[in-house]
Structures are given as C-alpha cells and as structure tokens.
Chain A
Amino acid sequence: MSGKPKVVVFCCNWSVYPGLQLSRMLDDGIDATVEPIVTMCSGRVSPELVVEAFSRGAWGVMVTGCPPEECDHDGNYSARRRMTLLRNTLEQLGISPERIAMDWFSAGESAELKSAVSEFTEQISQLGPMKSVQELA
C-alpha cells in the first residue's frame, strides 16, 4: 500500500456544502487526504469527472446530493443512475464498485456527512490505491 488514502467528495452547493463549511474539515481525525469539490448540483457530476479523479490518483470518489424530493432539478436521481451505471461499467475493468459512493444529505447534516466520509475512507483504505496507467509494453 502506498501513502494515505485519497478521496474526492463532490458536494452539492445547496445541500452539503453550507453544512460542510460549518463542520470541521472532513479529514480531521482520519489518516487520509479528503478533497471536497463543490458543484452546483449532484446532477452536474458526470461520470467523466469521477473517472478523471481515478486517473489522477483518487482511491475513491463520493458523490453527495440532496435527499429525494429536495433537489430542485432532480439532479440527485440522475446522479444516482449515472453512478450505478458507472459502477457496473468500471467493475468490468477490475475497479471495485465500492470505490464509488453516492449518498444524500440535507443542509445541516454535517455530522452525518463527516461520519459517512470517514466510513467510506476506511472502506477504500482496505482496497488500496488504483494501479496507475501503464506505460508502453
């Protein structure tokens, strides 16, 4: 195993992120690097962004959105379908579905978010880093 787990958390600006700002840092108390990336809706988190995170060394990616009926754009449902299909797709490439988490939080649920990130980090630290893209041959 090489280095600390690296986790990217895509946070919806309208639910999770205000809560995140009020909370302590997501990686406080855990031996990992957790990078939050704010989006305007979980529906903006395209599978391409998740794959790019993996290609740049993320061990796991968590996508967070508003709970059912709380997203004004139904982007949360779209994100859930996309992440499920992406998991199915990447599993065929030997990438554990456990590396992609999709969860829903309301504004103010920062303690729940922090504990979900901590649990996710624990899970992917068992999986270790992804293999890097191989050079020629």
Chain B
Amino acid sequence: MSKPKVALYWCASCGGCEEAVVDLAEDLLEVVEAVDIVFWPVALDFKKKDVQAMKDGEIALTFINGAIRTGEQKEMVELLRRKSGLVIAFGSCAHLGGIPGLGNFYDRESAFERAYLTSPSTVNPEGVLPVTEADVDGFELTLPEFWNTVHTLDQVIDVDYYLPGCAPPADLLMEAITAVLTGNLPEKGAVLAPAKSLCDSCPRSDSKPLKISISKLKRPHEVEPDPEKCFLEEGLICLGVSTRSGCGERCINVNMPCRGCFGPMDGVLDAGAKAVSAIASILELEDEENATEEDILELLRPIADPAGLFYMYSLPSSLLRRSQ
C-alpha cells in the first residue's frame, strides 16, 4: 500500500514554522517512514508543476504556514487546497495572521512608501515602486499583487484544523500527524491544542494569588521578574489569562510574559478584545469612587502600545481585521 502523501508550504512567514518541523529531530525519521513528503519548497526540490500534475485530493494532508498577502500565495494555497484531503493552518500566522498581520495597521501605499522610499537604508533616487507588470527591454515581467490587507489562511481557503503557536511545538505537531495517520481526528475546525488557558498549565500558577489586582503596571524592561512569581502579581502584563495553553510555557520558562501566540480559547471572537477585558479587569485604583478619567488614563499609561500588545498575533483574525 502506498504511503499517505504530505505537503508543507509557506506564505507570509519567517521560516520558524519550518524549523518547528525540523525540531521533530529523530521523530522526523518516523514521520518519513509513515508518509511521503511530496512538496516542501524549503527543503525538497519539487515544483508547482508537480503539484499541478497530481489528482484532486491526492495529498492526504497539507500543512500551510504563514499569513496571506499576495496573489501568488492565494494561487498556491488554492492549488494545495484542491489537491489535499486535509489542510492544517500551521502556526500563528496561518491561524491568526501572526506578526506579519501587524501590517494591517498600515496599508499597501504606506508600506511601499516606507520600504522603497523613506527608510534610512533605501537608495531609490528614481522612486521605483513594485508593479504587477513591467516592460523591460521588450520583455514583459510580472510580480504577484501585494494586497492592502494581510489575511489569515481561513479567510482565503477552507481550513480543516489549526495548529497554533509561534512556532508550534514539536509535541503538538507529532500529535497532529499521529491523529491524521490513525484517523483519530476531532471535529472539523478544531484547534489541535488544549482547551485550557495558559494560566492553567503555568509553572508559576502556584504563586498566583486567588485574586489578582494590579494598582501599578510595569513594563518588562523596568523590572527583573522573580522567576518563580506570577508576572501579573509583579505588575507585568502577561496574556496567559486569555491565551490557549499548549506552548510548553516556553516564554514563561525564560522569564518572559506570554504575548498570546497560541491565540484565544474556544468561543472567543476577538482575541485582542478578550485580552483588553482580562487585563482591564484586574487593574484597580485606590480611590475608585472618586477616580477621574485622567486617573484611569494614568493607570493605563504603561501600556504604551495597546493594540500592538493585545493584537500582537491576531489582528487579521480580529473582528475589525485592520485599521480603518
């Protein structure tokens, strides 16, 4: 019997998700024993035409990482969708938009202006900007269209499952592959990670008081956090309260508060707004009755970049998706 075919592809991403596959280490040998990897541009020399030549649905499972921002990415993920039985959005960018999704604070015009005209390292005296078609010495050259807005994978194609994380940890990846191979899959649309919040699995949860209240927020560069203590108790914003568990507490273990790469728990429509809710709820003022709007603003002042913090990994997946 022939082995199930697996494909891996990347879109607007940093390459960290590809590293996550390599992080399977010896387990990767087990994986290639069980499946045939038929397309993986970062590692193997298969081409788009090889995918085009396959029958529809011939690939059992495709992992796609990265957000979607160009016409080429759309064309490739639509092709892979057609050829695949299952598609897993792999990593924060495909799942929620991720760090490239912060591009939704801007638009195409301002991104081009910054990248090709005004950034200090740019030398572009003729002010050349990318165009989709250009005539050069009688040859017609083309580039994929660069969109105004960054999208999540499921805004472009139908997605079967989500494997969250920046990057997804090896154990969850291995579990996902095993689930597919054994047919032991949850309901379509599921996030293949625990349903609990990060606080539930946090190694510092023992030190977390029953009720947290923060009267003075601090920024990470202002304190050296106690490696045993709950960050919130120290006045540092940690998004573990509104973020899904399953990451292996990698940031917490190197004394860095959670920034939400695993996305929200089930049922949450807007990860950023949920985080705003969670953090604002545990703040307090001494004299709340007589507090003015200015007192509240003063309390919130250390949150210098709230949208960048609360929507760090999820802006394209948010209800509003981008700046107005």
Contact = CB atoms under 8 A, between A and B. Distances in A.
B149 A85 contact: no
Please classify how large the interface on chain A is, using the bins under 10, 10 to 19, 20 to 34, 35 or more: 20 to 34
Interface string A80-94: 111011101110111
B277 A48 contact: yes
Contact of B323 (A54, A69, A94, A137): A94
Nearest to A95: B324
Contact of A93 (B105, B155, B288): B105
A120 interface: no
Interface stretch (A14-22, A27-35, A128-136): A128-136
Given A46-B273, A47-B276, A55 B306 contact: no
Interface stretch (B17-25, B41-49, B173-181, B264-272): B264-272
Contacts, number: 113
Contact of A90 (B105, B145, B307): B307
A132 to B, nearest CB: 10
Interface in A61-97: 68-69, 74, 77-78, 80-82, 84-86, 88-90, 92-95
A36 B319 CA distance: 21
A50 interface: yes
B281 interface: yes
B53 to A, nearest CB: 27
A50 to B, nearest CB: 7
A77 B281 CA distance: 9
A92 B307 contact: yes
Nearest to A92: B307
A51 interface: yes
B74 A89 contact: no
Contacts of A136: 74, 147, 149, 151, 155-156
Interface string B277-304: 1011101110011110100110110010
A54 B147 contact: no
B216 interface: no
A111 B290 CA distance: 24
B309 to A, nearest CB: 9
Contacts of A51: 269-270, 273, 318-320
B303 A52 contact: no
Contact of B289 (A68, A86, A95): A68
B91 to A, nearest CB: 21
A136 B320 CA distance: 14
B238 to A, nearest CB: 16
B289 A82 contact: no
B308 A92 contact: yes
Nearest to A74: B288
A54 B320 contact: yes
A61 to B, nearest CB: 12
B274 interface: yes
Interface in A103-137: 130-131, 133-134, 136-137
A54 B324 CA distance: 12
A130 to B, nearest CB: 7
Contact of A89 (B145, B268, B276, B321): B276
B161 interface: no
Contact of B324 (A46, A50, A93): A93
Given A48-B268, A93-B105, A78 B148 contact: no
Interface of B: 74, 105, 145, 147-149, 151, 155-156, 268-270, 272-274, 276-277, 279-281, 283-285, 288-291, 293, 296-297, 299-300, 303, 305-308, 310-311, 318-324
Interface of A: 46-48, 50-52, 54-55, 68-69, 74, 77-78, 80-82, 84-86, 88-90, 92-95, 130-131, 133-134, 136-137
